[in-house]
Amino acid sequence: MYYVAKVNSDMCAEYKCNTCTLYCPEANTLMFDKKGNTSWVDEDRCKGCALCVYVCTDMLDRNCITMEMVSGKED
């Protein structure tokens, strides 16, 4: 069991922002969808460090990212 980051895209899309995507230690993991104006997480690649939470919550006070327990994939 481990945690991965999840972006609340409705909240994220309220801002003009891609800051967290610039600070994830992993490449090709915390992505930005220009059309939807929101960041999103490729959960298979996320290592659960919560650095993105620090950026979104502590630095920017936007609280769009939460760490959530990985649930088994449905068939």
Partner 1 sequence: MSLKYITPAERFKRYLPKDYVELVDYGPFGKTQDEAGPGNMGQFKELVEEHPMCSGCWMAYYIRLIFASLPCPEETVTLGTAGCGRLAISQAAVPFIYGNYGDQNAMASGLSRAFRIRFPDKTKDVITIAGDGGTMDIGFSMTMHSWIRGEKFTTIMLDNEVYGNTGGQESGMSPKGAILKMAPLGKQGEKMPATALAQAAGCVYTVRMSPTNIKKAAKIIRRAIFVAREVGPTFIHAYTSCNIEYSIPTEDVFADAKEKEKTRFQFEEYMTDAAKEVIERVEAEEKAASKARKAASKAEAV
Where does this chain bind partner 1 (CB under 8 A)? 18, 21-28, 30-32, 34, 39, 45, 47-51, 53-55, 58-59
Residue 59 near residue 32 (C-beta atoms within 8 A): no
For the CB of residue 71, give the shortest distance to partner 1 in the complex, in Å: 19
31 counts as binding ligand SF4 under rule CB under 6 A: no
Show the CA angle centred on residue 59, arms to residues 28 and 9, nearest 5°.
50
> What is residue 11's DSSP assignment?
H
CB of 11 to partner 1, least distance (A): 17
54 binds, among partner 1, ligand SF4, none (CB under 5 to 8 A by kind): partner 1
Q: Is 25 left (phi over 0), alpha (psi -120 to 50) or beta?
A: alpha
